[in-house]
Structure 1
Amino acid sequence: MERLLGLLKVKVVRGLNLAICDPLSHSSDPYVVIRLGQQKVKSSIKYKTINPEWNEELTLSITNWTLPVKIEVFDHDTFTKDDTMGDAEFSILDFVEIAVKDLTHVRDDTVMKTFQPNEENCYSADSHIMWKDGKVTQNMALKLRNTDTGELIMHLEWVNLPPGMSR
């Protein structure tokens, strides 16, 4: 059995300029699916929009920090298979390495690491792992792949295990 390292809260903030899958209404009915290993969590559906506001927090249990977090955006359809609207993925390796350290001596609002967009990642803007208000956090804008348009804005936050739970 793998040991639980902590919890990753993934806040799906919003989507920007997502693909139009319903041409008659010139919109889509998007939702987000997040996978990490065998875990799968899903946002609610936002109807008739290509700029959805979710502000939903989904939680993943972290036992293997080497696996990427995979994201898919779908257009909900009532009578047919849901359409894919793009995907993205990101590594949590650096995030978890920082999160499991003792950071009590670190000054608030300290940038622990910065990621810049490049061909090897899905970032569409600089993203910083921060120590803020006693928590390790990261804001990210991800450019969706396998589609012509669309970004997801997300926020990560690490939750340590309660005292007594083994790492």
Structure 2
Amino acid sequence: MVEFIGILNVKVIKGTNLEVRDVLSSDPYVVLTLGQQRAQTAVIKSDLNPVWNEELKLSVPQNYGALKVQVFDQDVLSSNDIMGEADVDLQPMITAATAFGDPDLLADMQIGKWLHSNDNALIRDSTINIIDGKVKQEVSLKLQNVESGGIDLELEWIPLAQ
């Protein structure tokens, strides 16, 4: 049986400069995968700079890995095309949140940071903050295995009571 340690609330904010996969544009949507779970945004028709502002929830298992983010182009007559992907390392946020305890008792402040490097898809450093009693992290990712494209997410960590 899988033991869950928390809920990851992922707000898929927007994509930028996504690649054309149809004739002139693309019909993008985002798939998030964590362990055996998958969650998907709505499809936005004919837009290379889509704004989703859509929240997806995933349960975080005790032995969690990276959150896999994939952007696809929906095709009606053929299989959907991949428009890029990236991994989000959840460890900095979960470690920081666990170290600081109950965020409801703390003032708004920065509690950690996931640093941009050549080994990850971050566009810039990503700070981990307590905002209004919630642990949040804004993440801007450069999509991998494509010529162009980026995606902005906001993560929120909700621990399960021990």
The SS at the match of 2:4 is coil
Count of residue correspondences: 160
The answer on whether the counterparts of 1:34 and 1:69 sit within 8 Å (CA) in structure 2 is yes
Runs of 4+ aligned residues of structure 1 deviating over 2 Å after TM superposition are 98-101, 103-107
Alignment partner of 2:38: what SS? Answer: strand
Q: 1:79 is matched by which residue type in structure 2?
A: L
Unpaired segments ≥5 residues, structure 1: none
**2:48 alignment counterpart:** 50
Query: Deviation at 1:65?
Result: 5.0
Which sits farther off after the overlay, 9-18 or 86-95? 86-95
When the two chains are superposed, the root-mean-square deviation of aligned CA atoms in Å is 1.4
Which residue of the partner structure matches residue 3 of structure 2?
3
Listed as ranges, the matches of 1:20-31 within 5 Å are 20-23=20-23, 26-31=24-29
TM-score, normalised via structure 2 length = 0.92
AA matched with 1:119: N
List runs of 5+ in structure 2 lacking aligned partners: none
Partner amino acid, structure 2, of 1:2:
V
Confirm or deny: 8 A CA contact 2:115 2:124 kept in the other structure.
yes
**% identical equivalent positions:** 37
Residue 65 of structure 1 contacts residue 93 of structure 1 at CA under 8 Å; is this kept in 2?
no
Q: Where does residue 153 of structure 2 map in the other structure?
A: 154
Alpha-carbon distance, 1:132 to partner = 1.1
After TM superposition, the score normalised by the length of structure 1 is: 0.90
Partner of 1:63: 61
- Does the 8 A contact of 2:35 with 2:64 survive in 1? no
